[in-house]
Chain A
Amino acid sequence: MNESDKTLVIIVSDLYIRGYIISLKNEMLAVLNTQQYLKTASDQELIQAIQFEFQGQFNKSVIISDLNKVLEDVTGKISAGNVTVVMNVNGATVSIVIGILGRIVYSKKYDFGFSHQLANLLLPENRTLFEQRLALWGYDNEKIRTAYNYLGNRQMYKGIPIVNKESEDALMGILWLICLKNELNTIIAENTKGLRFEEIPHVILTGEIAQEFIDQGNLALSLIDGFKLTGIWQLILDPRMQLLLYSQDISEDLSIYSLEELESIGSVIAFDSPYNWGEYIGEMRVDLGLSEDQVVDLKCGQIIRIPLSKQVSGGLTIKAKPNVVINYQGEIDKLAGGNIGLIIDTRNRPLPDLSQTKIYNKHMHHWIEALH
């Protein structure tokens, strides 16, 4: 693709059909125009409507309907230098794809989503977990009932939006449940033995759900806890569902950062240590490019947020007590910021399960507060 080429890419997902006019601009993938329709008519009718609307604005047209296949293709491209987990969550389906150094090591598609196929996810055992999590977030039975009813109505009526904190928390709980179904650490450990990485790993949330979230602090916590992240990760949100555009033949040199519209939530640094919760485990110096480094005392069992914008990269130095580890095989001198910034997570791994309510009751509200 060169700068004069303009492609209409139409993405058919579960609830929406979207059209994008894309082009290359200053070596970046530029989205010149977009249109989104809720599926209120047949796919064919809506595709024609988009083609009609963008008439004269493109010289090539592509329709993407097999999202899973395209997602694997895209994940392969963007994981060339690291580990990339892409989670595509739509109304009726979910796909999780993991790429390591350009190779797809895991690809799973589920027949549940956050809208009309929600009941397939809310089986009794998952409902228990969902309710436990909401209870730890301070929800009483009445509020849990309200959250459920919101989800039920989402299942019945396509596209109803988040209207308040309860509805966003309910959806966040669903996202957490979806993450939980994947043994991410095992898959990554099995496939990265002996490898070293130049870029930190990414978790990218895309799909119809990605445009819904407002509270990125809670979103970060749901991803960290759901995937039980260890080591260092950059969390990325694709709110306008543009990641799949990367499947187009644009340029070999483009990286994930060539997509303007992706939002970095921030970077997570998750420590593990044999020390007791609350015990001092060391200090961390973060170089934000200011006259002095920011020094953070680390205590076991904390979540600390350091604001760091998307445009700034931070380096860090850690002085830690023996046996405090960051499970990451690569350099940590360049951490990307984002809307939340750096998230320092010193909770011992593996994270306690929800039945350990003593720990959660004591700490959960601190963790939530830390990310806001």
Chain B
Amino acid sequence: MMEIIVGIKQPLIVNTKYIIERLIGVGSDISVKVDEIVRPETIIATYWQRSGFRTFNLAEMFKVTPEKASMIFKKTLGTRIYPGDIVATKQELFGLREKYFKSPLAGILTDFDTRTARLTIQYLPKEIKIVAGVFGRIVDIKSDKAVAIETKADIVKGVLSFGMDREGSLVEIGYPDIPLQADQLSERLSGKIIFGGTKVNLDFVYKSLSYGIKGIITGGIDYQDYLALQGSRGRDEDIGVSLIITEGFMSAPIYHETYDKLKEALQKHVIFNAGNETIVLPVANNSNLVDTTSVQEAKSNQKYNLLDEGNLVQIINGENIGQYGTVNKIMKENLIEVINNHINEQTNPLNVVKII
């Protein structure tokens, strides 16, 4: 029996045990304990997030020397201000006209450098409440870093990704069998994770940024576009929206079982784990979390497997790129026959990946 080894692809892992690490800020007040059962809305930690500061040069704004700028600064350091509060005023045209500087933000006046007339406004700290996001059980707490929650989830595995981890509710967009179009986007998708289509292009990505979309799941992307998104700093660069591509550098529909699973999770809160190309779809009815004996384990480290006749494969190179089919016949070491309802292709096994 001829042995052929090919790459594998595991597009979907159903009902698996999954540990989600919810990142928390430094100095967080943690409100859960290890082994505690949590619901998606359970607050697991609270902290005050310092949001940075902005500086304004009053001398430049009012076109005066730094010494004169000290005269027009009307507030006391340490006071809290709100958007629209007047921070500095100057009389012009012999007192006939007054020029203002109004604060564009809510914050605290923390510093005014009289030598440079540079004013610093610290943003008000924001109280951040971290919710569990999933049904589950707390399994580990790392102070100031993360709270780990064991949950049951369906995992959609992509083949490549871009951007950082994000989460939001899942919305379907476009059609499963044609590329995503920028005119399918609208404001109602703000803050959402969207899925659909066979391919995404740069226009769509940039327009989705303007609508505040958090993540895009689709079949393919052109390598040219992917390289353009990467810029010069590699995949860690975040442009504000994350991408997970399920099929590769091609135009191809999302694997049908994956698509169906995504549809089941419509409007649910999902976790977009761009770092390892996965989307975590928490299982809604998670009543028996302690029992994880029946769940399927992800075979994440396995990359190659033996190919046999009857195996489901995806063609990853050539004319029928993206198509799924069954190995009908292993003809010789470097030739197999793949068939589906539309194709009958004889190809090199290196041109396919086995679906597990």
Beta-carbon nearest neighbor of B5 in chain A: A40
Residues of A contacting B250 in the complex (Cβ-Cβ under 8 angstroms): 149, 153
Say yes or no for B348: interface residue by CB 8 A criterion: yes
Say yes or no for A210: interface residue by CB 8 A criterion: no
Residues of A contacting B49 in the complex (Cβ-Cβ under 8 angstroms): none
* Alpha-carbon distance A158/B318, docked complex (angstroms): 15
CB pairs A–B below 8 angstroms (20 shown):
A38-B5, A40-B7, A148-B222, A148-B227, A148-B249, A149-B223, A150-B317, A152-B226, A152-B248, A153-B316, A157-B7, A157-B316, A160-B317, A161-B348, A161-B350, A163-B317, A163-B318, A163-B319, A163-B351, A167-B317
* Alpha-carbon distance A145/B226, docked complex (angstroms): 12
- The reply to whether B350 and A124 contact each other, CB–CB distance below 8 Å, is no
* The 4 residue pairs across chains A and B that have the minimum distance between CB atoms: A152-B223, A152-B249, A40-B304, A149-B249
Beta-carbon nearest neighbor of B251 in chain A: A149
Say yes or no for B81: interface residue by CB 8 A criterion: no
Residues of B contacting A155 in the complex (Cβ-Cβ under 8 angstroms): 223
Contact with A along B328-356 (1 / 0, CB 8 A): 00000000000000000000101101000
- The reply to whether B249 and A158 contact each other, CB–CB distance below 8 Å, is no
Residues of A contacting B248 in the complex (Cβ-Cβ under 8 angstroms): 152-153, 156-157
- Give B341 Cβ to nearest chain A Cβ, in Å: 22
Interface residues of B in 201-254 (CB under 8 A from A): 222-224, 226-227, 230, 232, 248-250
Interface residues of A in 107-145 (CB under 8 A from B): 119, 122-124, 127, 144-145
- Give A221 Cβ to nearest chain B Cβ, in Å: 24
Residues of A contacting B230 in the complex (Cβ-Cβ under 8 angstroms): 119
- The reply to whether A145 and B5 contact each other, CB–CB distance below 8 Å, is no
Say yes or no for B146: interface residue by CB 8 A criterion: no
Residues of A contacting B69 in the complex (Cβ-Cβ under 8 angstroms): none
Q: With A124-B232, A148-B249, A156-B159 as known contacts, state yes or no: A161 contacts B351, CB within 8 Å.
A: yes
Which one of B159, B232, B303, B317 has the greatest number of beta carbons of chain A within 10 Å? B317
Residues of B contacting A159 in the complex (Cβ-Cβ under 8 angstroms): 350
**Chain B residues engaging chain A, CB cutoff 8 angstroms:** 5, 7, 159-160, 222-224, 226-227, 230, 232, 248-250, 303-304, 316-319, 321, 348, 350-351, 353
- The reply to whether A156 and B232 contact each other, CB–CB distance below 8 Å, is no
Partner among B224, B227, B317 whose Cβ is within 8 Å of the Cβ of A153? B317
Which one of A124, A152, A155 has the greatest number of beta carbons of chain B within 10 Å? A152
- Give A156 Cβ to nearest chain B Cβ, in Å: 6
Q: With A38-B350, A152-B249, A153-B249 as known contacts, state yes or no: A160 contacts B223, CB within 8 Å.
A: no
Contact with B along A144-187 (1 / 0, CB 8 A): 11001111110111111101100100000000000000000000
* Alpha-carbon distance A119/B230, docked complex (angstroms): 10
- The reply to whether A160 and B351 contact each other, CB–CB distance below 8 Å, is yes
Say yes or no for A290: interface residue by CB 8 A criterion: no
- The reply to whether A41 and B304 contact each other, CB–CB distance below 8 Å, is yes
- Give A21 Cβ to nearest chain B Cβ, in Å: 20
* Alpha-carbon distance A237/B353, docked complex (angstroms): 31
Which one of B227, B319, B321 has the greatest number of beta carbons of chain A within 10 Å? B227
Residues of A contacting B350 in the complex (Cβ-Cβ under 8 angstroms): 38, 157, 159-161
Residues of A contacting B318 in the complex (Cβ-Cβ under 8 angstroms): 163-164
* Alpha-carbon distance A152/B230, docked complex (angstroms): 13
Beta-carbon nearest neighbor of B220 in chain A: A149
Beta-carbon nearest neighbor of A120 in chain B: B234
- The reply to whether B160 and A156 contact each other, CB–CB distance below 8 Å, is yes
Known: A148-B222, A153-B248. 17 other contacts (CB 8 A): A38-B350, A40-B5, A40-B303, A40-B304, A127-B224, A149-B222, A149-B223, A150-B249, A152-B223, A153-B250, A153-B317, A156-B159, A157-B248, A157-B316, A160-B316, A163-B351, A167-B317
* Alpha-carbon distance A41/B3, docked complex (angstroms): 14
- Give A279 Cβ to nearest chain B Cβ, in Å: 40
Residues of B contacting A163 in the complex (Cβ-Cβ under 8 angstroms): 317-319, 351
- Give B124 Cβ to nearest chain A Cβ, in Å: 41
Residues of A contacting B303 in the complex (Cβ-Cβ under 8 angstroms): 40
* Alpha-carbon distance A123/B304, docked complex (angstroms): 30
Residues of A contacting B353 in the complex (Cβ-Cβ under 8 angstroms): 157
* Alpha-carbon distance A149/B247, docked complex (angstroms): 12
- The reply to whether B351 and A156 contact each other, CB–CB distance below 8 Å, is no
Which one of B226, B249, B316, B321 has the greatest number of beta carbons of chain A within 10 Å? B249
Residues of B contacting A123 in the complex (Cβ-Cβ under 8 angstroms): 232
Beta-carbon nearest neighbor of A154 in chain B: B317
Partner among A41, A122, A157 whose Cβ is within 8 Å of the Cβ of B227? A122
Which one of A124, A153, A164 has the greatest number of beta carbons of chain B within 10 Å? A153
Partner among A148, A158, A167 whose Cβ is within 8 Å of the Cβ of B223? A148
Residues of A contacting B304 in the complex (Cβ-Cβ under 8 angstroms): 40-41
